[in-house]
Amino acid sequence: MRWVIGALGIGLLGWGAVLLLPVALDNPFSLGGWLVGGPVLHDAVLAPAVGVGGVLIARVLPKPWRAPVGAGLVVSGILVVLAVPYLWRAYSGPVTPGLHDRPYLAGLLIALAVVWAVVVVSGLVAGRRRGNTPAAS
């Protein structure tokens, strides 16, 4: 079973490389940058930032607030990533009627406000629940 999956994978990989070769020859730097950029930015910038953020949260925040704030930061980060192609449009085509014409910055801010409202409520609920347990008194 493993060998079948592996062989199929190597076949698809090879076919992808064949299809990609002309693109790589035409635009080596643009393609290479987009291929290598993801792992490099993730390993060198994003993941360390997440790690430091987690440590800081655990050191600074009281226990009931750690999970809500951590989760809120994760969800916020994802929403910001999804908003980037709409907010930074240096390389985009013209905006046409009905497409890409939403108020994206306002929309992002509203979504973030909803996320952080949930964070605050979750933190307060977790704090109260903790306050009610005998162990905490």
Residues 33-62 contacting another protein, CB under 8 A? 34-39, 42-43, 46-47, 50-51, 53-55, 57-58, 61
Site size with another protein, rule: CB under 8 A: 78
Closer residue to another protein (CB): 97 or 134: 97
CB of 131 to another protein, least distance (A): 20
Of the candidates 45, 62, 92, 128, which one interacts with another protein according to CB under 8 A?
92
92 Rama class: left (phi>0) / alpha (psi -120 to 50) / beta: beta
Cβ proximity to another protein, 106 vs 135, nearer residue: 106
Six token digits for residue 82? 């999804």
Closest C-alpha to 74, from 51, 92, 97, 91? 51
Q: Which of residues 97-116 bind another protein (CB under 8 A)?
A: 97-102, 104, 106-108, 110-111, 115
Work out whether 6 is an interface residue with another protein (CB under 8 A).
Answer: yes
* Nearer Cβ to another protein (15/131): 15
Give Cβ neighbours of residue 116 (< 8 Å, ≥ 6 apart). 72, 76
Please answer whether residues 68 and 123 qualify as being in contact, where contact means their C-beta atoms are separated by less than 8 angstroms.
yes
CA 129, chain centre distance (Å): 30
Q: How far apart are CA 121 and CA 116, in angstroms?
A: 9
By CB under 8 A, the residues from 117 to 136 that bind another protein are: none
CB of 49 to another protein, least distance (A): 11
